[in-house]
Structure 1
């Protein structure tokens, strides 16, 4: 099966949701009840098969089947809960957004949208189910964005302190193993988790298992089936429990266990790289311009834009013509003013038109995906955006670190509050019916 690369913050890379299978099998039971919805056994079976197919000749790295089924079922449960929460809080995904996401997937795989549809059909995948799953992923992404906007605050003081303490541009490739603890864990649960993480660390210390295999087999983290991979991170994106020690680690070294908000963790430093240069000056050309937009690409739209260009050419004030005739409701009230922007801000085609003008000059009509434009360039300047970019990047790093902790806590709370009944048909290990 061809694997498509999703350009979505929450794209699910480790399993294929219901309907993403090459074959359709009859429903043979319920694996779990999640509030008012269900996860079918056939859905769980397909997701597990996809995992084993991805691992291929490395299947020996996977945990025993009952444990693997538990890991995959937990992912399905969380997806179900997030989708339901998104819908209940008014998150809606429009058809145009889904179309844009499908076009992005096609581009990333060097396909046209029609070729993507044909490839899905050739692989035996239902396009309607593919589209529905994509809609769910977009809804979850929107839910996460709303959560971040309402829950995550990064102050200027935090940014200032982080920039002052930034010793280098080094980035770290990390992996972790998590032994999770429930909210309000009892002393017995804490002791059991401590014994488990200590046992995993002992296996690693004796060389009986490498870190990636141990993460796949034992970790409770959402990245377990990816070998615990956390990707490349700067010091400001590393979990706070490890920030002070990771700089002194060697590649391959494992530290921990350390208890954090989610439970006990082991952290491995896989590699380091120099990301220096982020503090250099970044001089860019910015343009100041106004535009008039006529939406549409038919003869009538072309006639309108020509008429508006003729009025400007006859001496009418550009801003007055924009207020009177532009279809851009955002800028028409300001006479079409776009403010200061860089070349790529409104797409390369628009930027090429503006950069070809002299200050004060008005373009001939030209077409973009939005419709027909005429542009008047009113100024240019060279600006060092390095300092601003560094602050924005640091603010985003701090925000992402906070969001990761808070979002995981939110998911744990959401799962603990839900009615979840895992049925014997699921064939999973380590769970009991009803939660």
Structure 2
């Protein structure tokens, strides 16, 4: 349990330490990073590293890594504020409640555990909010920039074997500044060669990554976790396909710098099977003309007619506001529950074949559904196409985010006073 919480406490000013002499250690555009913020963040990182069982890096290295993380976070938070991205208290509480539920405890118990370990829960919530905001601003920017065409999907499917499985990898980046001269590049190359040799000689990848990596996951030991092979950058995916578990790549050069990848584990994917339901549907929409109360009266009247033997298809064609299915007598065709929405999907899953539901409400209005048939369908090909699109999008998103974060960090006014 403690290990999980420490992993969540990355870069958070939560340790309840003695009062610090609070001065400014960095100015980032219109905001500042205080010494107390840095010191408490460093203490939190130490807790996280200790929880993994890895040795701590030298103090100056850790301070530098944490300060850079805080600087990048400040820049992203400022961009989020500029574009109006906010996270409400309710959203933060929902996220925390979900984390607690995943660990089999209540939010109150989670709070007690955090405070028992010497952390401030209000700061915990604040850091969770910051993480949610920075994630949203990154993906909002990337979503606005990344497009995937059908032609790209076709080319991807023609050139790639989608069932490549998933890999668990660790990553180390030695960044090379844009426009660096040859001397700097060679110095970075020599460093990554030396680090690789240390790893081959038995050094712990997590320790080396924590001390030297410029990657976003450096303080997590470079652990990227499980990723579909086809969603990795092409330079990485081509390498891991032929690697054995435990193997480390030679240095890989990209626009960001030099990379080392370690294959921690790998697993295969399987055929995609889903339950599909053939459903008839009547909907009475709730809008400015028909209130929810009026809609309820209409749907209840139709339900009474159906119970008395009225033809479902005839009533759907005459009365349903579902303009896609109404002309077909309410026939929605074969659908997976994920295509029906959470509420309707749950209703359909609990029906027997030829059974009709009682009226129920969603945000769209009032509904009656009838289950006509059920089957298991092999949607591997459709799934492959979805996966291809997702793989292309994910690659583009990650590359776009990485470039954008590097650009806004470079554009920001940063005055380090540590």
TM range (shorter): 0.7 to 0.9
Question: TM-score, normalized by length of structure 2?
Answer: 0.80
CA–CA separation in structure 2 for the residues paired with 1:167 and 1:294: 41
- Give the stretch that moved more between structures: 344-353 or 212-221: 344-353
Q: Is the 8 A contact 1:32 1:39 kept in 2?
A: yes
- Match of residue 66, structure 2, among 45, 65, 72: 72
Q: Is the 8 A contact 1:61 1:217 kept in 2?
A: no
CA–CA separation in structure 2 for the residues paired with 1:135 and 1:334: 42
- Match of residue 46, structure 1, among 40, 45, 49: 40
Match of 2:408 in 1: 414
Structure 1: 5+ residue runs without aligned partners? 7-11, 296-300, 324-330, 425-435
Per-residue Cα deviation, 1:307-357 (whole angstroms, up to 9, x for no partner): 74145414794677765xxxxxxx69997x895642355677643532454
The 1:372–1:96 alpha-carbon spacing in structure 2 relative to 1, beyond 3 Å, is farther
SS at match of 2:392: helix
Question: TM-score, normalized by length of structure 1?
Answer: 0.77
CA–CA separation in structure 1 for the residues paired with 2:193 and 2:378: 51
CA–CA separation in structure 2 for the residues paired with 1:107 and 1:307: 40
The 1:148–1:319 alpha-carbon spacing in structure 2 relative to 1, beyond 3 Å, is farther
CA–CA separation in structure 2 for the residues paired with 1:49 and 1:338: 60
Match runs of 1:179-194 below 5 Å? 179-194=174-189
SS at match of 1:175: strand
CA–CA separation in structure 2 for the residues paired with 1:115 and 1:321: 51
- In the TM superposition, residue 59 of structure 1 has moved relative to its aligned partner by 6.9
Match runs of 1:60-209 below 5 Å? 61-120=55-114, 122-123=116-117, 125-164=119-158, 165-166=160-161, 168-205=163-200, 207=201, 209=203
Q: Does 1:376 align with 2:369?
A: yes
- Give the stretch that moved more between structures: 70-79 or 207-216: 207-216
Per-residue Cα deviation, 1:70-121 (whole angstroms, up to 9, x for no partner): 1111111111111111111222334443343233223222233444455555
Match runs of 1:267-278 below 5 Å? 267-273=261-267, 275-277=268-270
Q: CA RMSD in A?
A: 3.8
The 1:313–1:358 alpha-carbon spacing in structure 2 relative to 1, beyond 3 Å, is farther
SS at match of 2:177: coil
CA–CA separation in structure 2 for the residues paired with 1:366 and 1:156: 37
Q: Is the 8 A contact 1:257 1:265 kept in 2?
A: yes
Match runs of 1:309-320 below 5 Å? 309-314=300-305, 317=315
- In the TM superposition, residue 306 of structure 1 has moved relative to its aligned partner by 6.7
Match of 2:276 in 1: 285
Q: Does 1:221 align with 2:215?
A: yes
The 1:250–1:64 alpha-carbon spacing in structure 2 relative to 1, beyond 3 Å, is same
CA–CA separation in structure 2 for the residues paired with 1:302 and 1:114: 38
SS at match of 2:230: helix
CA–CA separation in structure 2 for the residues paired with 1:59 and 1:167: 36
SS at match of 1:377: strand
Q: Is the 8 A contact 2:303 2:358 kept in 1?
A: no
- In the TM superposition, residue 388 of structure 1 has moved relative to its aligned partner by 1.4
CA–CA separation in structure 2 for the residues paired with 1:250 and 1:360: 52
CA–CA separation in structure 2 for the residues paired with 1:256 and 1:187: 20
- Give the stretch that moved more between structures: 54-63 or 84-93: 54-63
Q: Is the 8 A contact 2:9 2:124 kept in 1?
A: no
Per-residue Cα deviation, 1:147-194 (whole angstroms, up to 9, x for no partner): 222222333343334334317534333222211012222333222212
CA–CA separation in structure 2 for the residues paired with 1:402 and 1:119: 40
CA–CA separation in structure 2 for the residues paired with 1:153 and 1:416: 26
Structure 2: 5+ residue runs without aligned partners? 287-291
Match of 2:289 in 1: none
More helix by share: 2
CA–CA separation in structure 2 for the residues paired with 1:240 and 1:100: 36
CA–CA separation in structure 2 for the residues paired with 1:37 and 1:283: 50
The 1:145–1:332 alpha-carbon spacing in structure 2 relative to 1, beyond 3 Å, is farther
